[in-house]
Structure formats: structure tokens, C-alpha cells
């Protein structure tokens, strides 16, 4: 099939950028979306033009590197699907496809469709550490983890940090990402020691990075390729309130308790 | 040190303020609507109720200041939060984001809010203060006749009904949203929370709209 692409082209972070039209000819329905872009890029390279830059790594939907907004839908809008797992059979001959990078102040465009998601790393860093003893592997079941907690923690830990939640949010908020990271530790016994300090620090960092704020549109949940629930946002809010109410002043010397 | 100001500085803290003040607002509109329904009983009943509310100055002003404080905090926090979200996406999408789970109610909060603020000011000028410039029939203390004579004018009744429809959208998203913000979310109760939001909205809005409709229809004279 033949498609018309409108792709965001931007030379570097300083460039203003614009949409550029490309014809994608002879696209197979078996190609993934990224393979379709590979084919377009092969042609651009053959013509001596600059290929379209986009992020990708594993191409099996687990690394969180890829992600573009396709016709106003993050990752193209199929349930539980990253851009690399989106196949061209979902499109028909003659379709016009608009391809744009994630749009958020906290995700500056580096080039074309590639954005810098360092803000996510800094939110995780703000959470600090969890207390896990190093050395030999601990005995199995030395720390009992209730099955419902481990299931819920795993649901949150499914987050691959792709940033689709921010891209799809009308407010450009990072609440789903941050709440998933907070919850997957906060639900487990190993994460209890720093649980309430972590939530306060990560929530503060979310604002510092320049994300918007959650007004419960729930567009993030619809866009999330790992189908993470906005229930985790409520969990974050709950822990944030508890953490703020119970926070004690930092002691310099310590040990006087 | 983690204090109140640090809490308010974060978007999450502001949202908690929005939720609590919103809950106060919801409680008020519910009680206010139930009180207003006494217009269906008769003139004496409603006017006596109005007198009862004004019988104790400390309670009256305590309630008034609480409500004014709640409105001010709600408006200021929403203004700051909306500004933060506006700034969060400086370069817009060329192709607009498609809506999947968001609703008309969730998207319209940004304008139902300011509309309701204008409505509150107009409503106070109309029935509480009796501002002369509005040129509406108003006699101090004669609540029943003020209501009936006011709503006999169809543009006034129409504006009230329009604002109540805006309130329905604001309440429906707001009530559910405030539970989410306060972290009240559990698979066992999420259905109940949705039901409370829908039922609470329906009761308040239908109750309020029934008054101008009954007056325009000539049921209340």
C-alpha cells in the first residue's frame, strides 16, 4: 500500500522545526510502524537526504525507547501496544499519517522525533534508594510478600518509562509514570523503609521538571502500552498526603532518639 | 522542615486544597438546594427558613466566611494549576490529541469553573445583596416573592438553568476527581464513588432547575 506521511522534522534542539510530507510507497501490511519508517529512511539516504531520526531499541515492546504520536494518538492508539509493535495492517492504502514527537516542556526535542526523557530519570533519582541487603542472594521467602501486594506491585512495575502518558495527557502531566514508580516500591515490604520520604521527594521533582498536573482525564491510562491504571495515581496521592503529614524535620547529627 | 507551604507548593498539595474546598462546595450546594425546595411548600415556609438561617449572626458569618474562604482557595489553586499545565506543553501538537477516556465534563472544567464563579457573584448580587443596578425585583427578607418575581423573567430563569447545566458537568467530574485526589480509590468502592458523583450531581441540578421551571410554568405563583 501507499501512504502519505507528515513527519515532524527538526534539525536540533534550537531549530524551530516543521511538518514535512513524504510518500511511503509499497508498504507491506506485515511491517511494523518503525520498519515502515526504516524503508522511508533508506530512500532518503539513497537520495542523499537526512533520514528521519526516531528512538528505538528492542522493537519487542519492552524497552520503552520508541514512541511517537501518530494522528494525535500516542503509540498510534492500539490497546497495550508500543509504536514498534504497531503493524501497518492497521492502516489502509492512501492513508495520511501525522507523526510527531512527544510534546512536553520537560521532554525537549533533540532531533526530529527523538526527545530527551532525562526528566523521568531525575524523578526516579529523587526517590533515592531502597534498603536491600547486598551479598548473597537472600533465602527464598525470607521476606514474606502477600500475593495481592506482589501482583499489584508487578502491575505498577510494568511501566517501561516510554513517556506516552505525558504525551497523551492534555495537561502534560507525569502523574501516571511517577505513581507507577512510587507504587511498585511502596507496595512491597522492601520499599517500606523510605516509602513516605520517597513519595514526597518524587512528587516535588515532578513539579521541578516542569510537567503539568493531573486533572483526572485518564488519557494516560488509555495511551499506556502497559495498561497501567490511574488507580496508582490515587495511591500516590494517598501516600503523598500521609508522607507530607508525617514528615519530620531532618536531623543533622542523628542518633539522639 | 516540611510545612504547610511546602505542601501547597507542589501541584499535588494544591490539588488536595481543590478537593477539600470542592467538597465543601458540594456539601453547600446540596444543602442549599434542599433548603430552596421549600419554595414548593409555600411562602411562609421559605421565608421562615430564611429567617432561621439569619437568626444567629456568629453562625451565619461563620458559614459565610468558610464558604468565601473555600471559593477563594478553590479559585486561586485552580488558576495556579491551570497555569502550570499551560506551561507544560509550549509547542502544541500539529494534529490535535484524540480523546479516548477523557470526557466533555473533564475538558470543560476550565470554563465551567469561571462561569460558575461569575454565576456565584451574580447570584449573590441578585438574591442576597439585591443590587439595584441589576434592576430585578428585590425586597429585603421577602425571599419567596424575590424568587418568584425574579424567575418570572425568562432571561433570568434561562441564565440560572444554563449555569446549573454547567454545574452538572463541574460536579460530575469534580466529585469523582476529588476522591481520586484524596487517594480514596479501591476496586470495591470505585463503582460506588462513580454512582455518588452521578447521583449527587443529578439531585443537586434537577432540584435546582425544578424551581425556575415550576415558576415559568406557573406552578408556583
Q: Do B94 and A238 touch (CB under 8 A)?
A: no
Residue B94 has pLDDT above 60, yes or no: yes
Helix axes A175-186, A118-126, angle to 10 degrees: 40
User: Quick one: A63 and A165 in the same domain?
Assistant: no
- Chain centre distance of CA A249: 33
> How confident is the model over A133-140, as a mean pLDDT?
81
User: Quick one: A8 and A68 in the same domain?
Assistant: yes
Which residue reads 474562604 in cell numbers? B69
Among candidates B90, B173, B182 on the partner chain, residue whose Cβ is nearest the Cβ of A237: B182
Residue-wise pLDDT for B179-219, tens only, equals 999 999 999 999 999 999 999 999 999 999 999 999 999 99
Name the helix (H) or strand (E) containing B173. Answer: helix B154-181
Residue-wise pLDDT for A80-123, tens only, equals 999 999 999 999 999 999 999 999 999 999 999 999 999 999 99
Q: Which of A91, A110, A129 is the last residue of a domain?
A: A110
Among candidates B1, B84, B92 on the partner chain, residue whose Cβ is nearest the Cβ of A213: B84
Domain assignment present for A192: yes
For residue A136, what are the CA distances in angstroms to A116, A130, A140, A188? 37, 17, 12, 20
Give the integer Cα–Cα distance in Å for A31 and A1. Answer: 11
Give the per-residue pLDDT at A137.
83
B84: cell is: 502550570
Residue-wise pLDDT for A1-28, tens only, equals 999 999 999 999 999 999 999 999 999 9
Residues spanned by the domain of A68:
3-110
Q: Are B143 and B46 in contact (CB under 8 A)?
A: yes
Residue B24 has pLDDT above 60, yes or no: yes
Confidence category of residue A141, pLDDT binned at 50, 70, 90: confident
Residue B1 has pLDDT above 60, yes or no: no
Domain assignment present for A241: yes
Residue-wise pLDDT for B101-137, tens only, equals 999 999 999 999 999 999 999 999 999 999 988 888 9
Q: Establish if B126 touches chain A: CB-CB under 8 angstroms.
A: no
Which residue reads 509550549 in cell numbers? B90
Domain assignment present for A132: yes
Q: Chain-wide mean pLDDT for chain B? A: 96
User: Which residue of chain B has the CA closest to A68?
Assistant: B93
Q: Which of A81, A110, A139 is the last residue of a domain?
A: A110
Q: Are B147 and B211 in contact (CB under 8 A)?
A: yes
Give the integer Cα–Cα distance in Å for B8 and B105. Answer: 26
User: Quick one: A86 and A123 in the same domain?
Assistant: no
Q: Establish if A127 touches chain B: CB-CB under 8 angstroms.
A: no
CATH number at residue A36: 3.10.20.30
Give the per-residue pLDDT at A128.
86
Give the per-residue pLDDT at A256.
54
User: Quick one: A197 and A128 in the same domain?
Assistant: yes
Residue A238 has pLDDT above 90, yes or no: yes
User: Quick one: A133 and A30 in the same domain?
Assistant: no
**ipTM of the complex as predicted:** 0.94
Instruction: Specify the number of domains making up chain A.
Output: 2
Give the per-residue pLDDT at B2.
54
Give the per-residue pLDDT at A254.
59
- When mean pLDDT is compared across A86-95, A137-146, A205-214, B151-160, the lowest value belongs to A137-146
Domain assignment present for A172: yes
- Helix and strand totals (H; E) in chain A: 8, 7
Give the integer Cα–Cα distance in Å for A243 and A247. Answer: 6
Distance from CA of A117 to the nearest CA of B (A): 14
User: Which residues between 97 and 126 in chain A have a beta carbon less than 8 angstroms from any beta carbon of chain B?
Assistant: 98, 100, 103-106, 109
Q: Are B168 and B205 in contact (CB under 8 A)?
A: yes
Domain assignment present for A39: yes
User: Quick one: A39 and A157 in the same domain?
Assistant: no
Q: Chain-wide mean pLDDT for chain A? A: 94
User: Which residue of chain B has the CA closest to A78?
Assistant: B100
Domain assignment present for A257: no
Give the integer Cα–Cα distance in Å for B170 and B166. Answer: 6
Q: Establish if A219 touches chain B: CB-CB under 8 angstroms.
A: yes
User: Quick one: A242 and A122 in the same domain?
Assistant: yes
Give the per-residue pLDDT at A255.
60
For residue A210, what are the CA distances in angstroms to A174, A207, B199? 10, 5, 37
Residues 6+ apart with CB under 8 A from A15: none
Which residue reads 465534563 in cell numbers? B105
Domain assignment present for A254: no
Residues 6+ apart with CB under 8 A from A49: none
Contact list in A for residue B184 (CB cut-off 8 A) is: 234, 238
Task: Spell out a b/e string for A109-147, using b for 16 or more CB atoms within 10 Å of the CB, else e.
Answer: bbbbbbbebebbeebeebbeeeeeeeeeeeeeeeeeeee
Residues 6+ apart with CB under 8 A from A138: none
Question: Most A CBs within 10 Å: which of B8, B88, B103, as the mutation test of the A interface?
Answer: B88
Give the integer Cα–Cα distance in Å for B78 and B76. Answer: 6
Give the per-residue pLDDT at A253.
67
Give the per-residue pLDDT at B157.
97
User: Quick one: A131 and A238 in the same domain?
Assistant: yes
Question: A218: closest CA among B99, B111, B24?
Answer: B99
Q: Which of A110, A128, A145 is the last residue of a domain?
A: A110
CATH number at residue A135: 1.10.1060.10
Distance from CA of A159 to the nearest CA of B (A): 19
Q: Are strands A18-24 and A3-9 parallel, antiparallel or unpaired?
A: antiparallel
Give the per-residue pLDDT at B163.
98
Amino acid at each position: 500500500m501507499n501512504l502519505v506521511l507528515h513527519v515532524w522534522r527538526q534539525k536540533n534542539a534550537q531549530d524551530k522545526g516543521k511538518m514535512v510530507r513524504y510518500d511511503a510507497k509499497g508498504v507491506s501490511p506485515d511491517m511494523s510502524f518503525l520498519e515502515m519508517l526504516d524503508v522511508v529512511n533508506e530512500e532518503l539516504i539513497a537520495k542523499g537526504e537526512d533520514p528521519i531520526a526516531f528512538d528505538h531499541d528492542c522493537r519487542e515492546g519492552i524497552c520503552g525507547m520508541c514512541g511517537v504520536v501518530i494522528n494525535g494518538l500516542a503509540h498510534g492508539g492500539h490497546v497495550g501496544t508500543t509504536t514498534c509493535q504497531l503493524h501497518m495492517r492497521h492502516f489502509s492504502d492512501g492513508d495520511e499519517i501525522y507523526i510527531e514527537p512527544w510534546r512536553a516542556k520537560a521532554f525537549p526535542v533533540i532531533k526530529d522525533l527523538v526527545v530527551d526523557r532525562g526528566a523521568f530519570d531525575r524523578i526516579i533519582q529523587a526517590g533515592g534508594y531502597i534498603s536491600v541487603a547486598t551479598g548473597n542472594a537472600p533465602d527464598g521467602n525470607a521476606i514474606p510478600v502477600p500475593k495481592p501486594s506482589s501482583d499489584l506491585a508487578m502491575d505498577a512495575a510494568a511501566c517501561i518509562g516510554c513517556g506516552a502518558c505525558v504525551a497523551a495527557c492534555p495537561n502534560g502531566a507525569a502523574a501516571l509514570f511517577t505513581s507507577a514508580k512510587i507504587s511498585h516500591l511502596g507496595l512491597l515490604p522492601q520499599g517500606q523503609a523510605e516509602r513516605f520520604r520517597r513519595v514526597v521527594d518524587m512528587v516535588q521533582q515532578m513539579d521541578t521538571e516542569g510537567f503539568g498536573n493531573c486533572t483526572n482525564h485518564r488519557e494516560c491510562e488509555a495511551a499506556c502500552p502497559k495498561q497501567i491504571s490511574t488507580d496508582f495515581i490515587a495511591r500516590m496521592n494517598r501516600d503523598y498526603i500521609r508522607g507530607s503529614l508525617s514528615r519530620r524535620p531532618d536531623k543533622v547529627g542523628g542518633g539522639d532518639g | 522542615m516540611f510545612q504547610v507551604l511546602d505542601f501547597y507548593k507542589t501541584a499535588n498539595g494544591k490539588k488536595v486544597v481543590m478537593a477539600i474546598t470542592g467538597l465543601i462546595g458540594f456539601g453547600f450546594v446540596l444543602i442549599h438546594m434542599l433548603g430552596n425546595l421549600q419554595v414548593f411548600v409555600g411562602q411562609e415556609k421559605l421565608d421562615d427558613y430564611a429567617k432561621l438561617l439569619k437568626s444567629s449572626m456568629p453562625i451565619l458569618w461563620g458559614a459565610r466566611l468558610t464558604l468565601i474562604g473555600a471559593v477563594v482557595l478553590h479559585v486561586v489553586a485552580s488558576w495556579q494549576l491551570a497555569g502550570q499545565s499551560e506551561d507544560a506543553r509550549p509547542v502544541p501538537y500539529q494534529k490535535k490529541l484524540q480523546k479516548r477516556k477523557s470526557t466533555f465534563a473533564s475538558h470543560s472544567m476550565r470554563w465551567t469553573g469561571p462561569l460558575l464563579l461569575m454565576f456565584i457573584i451574580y447570584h449573590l448580587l441578585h438574591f442576597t445583596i439585591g443590587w439595584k443596578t441589576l434592576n430585578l425585583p428585590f425586597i429585603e427578607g421577602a425571599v419567596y416573592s424575590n424568587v418568584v418575581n425574579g424567575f418570572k423573567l425568562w432571561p433570568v430563569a434561562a441564565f440560572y438553568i444554563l449555569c446549573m447545566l454547567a454545574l452538572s458537568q463541574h460536579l460530575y467530574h469534580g466529585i469523582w476527581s476529588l476522591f481520586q485526589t484524596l487517594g480514596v480509590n479501591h476496586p470495591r468502592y470505585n463503582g460506588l464513588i462513580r454512582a455518588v458523583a452521578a447521583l449527587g450531581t443529578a439531585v443537586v441540578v434537577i432540584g435546582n432547575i425544578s424551581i425556575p421551571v415550576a415558576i415559568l410554568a406557573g406552578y408556583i405563583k
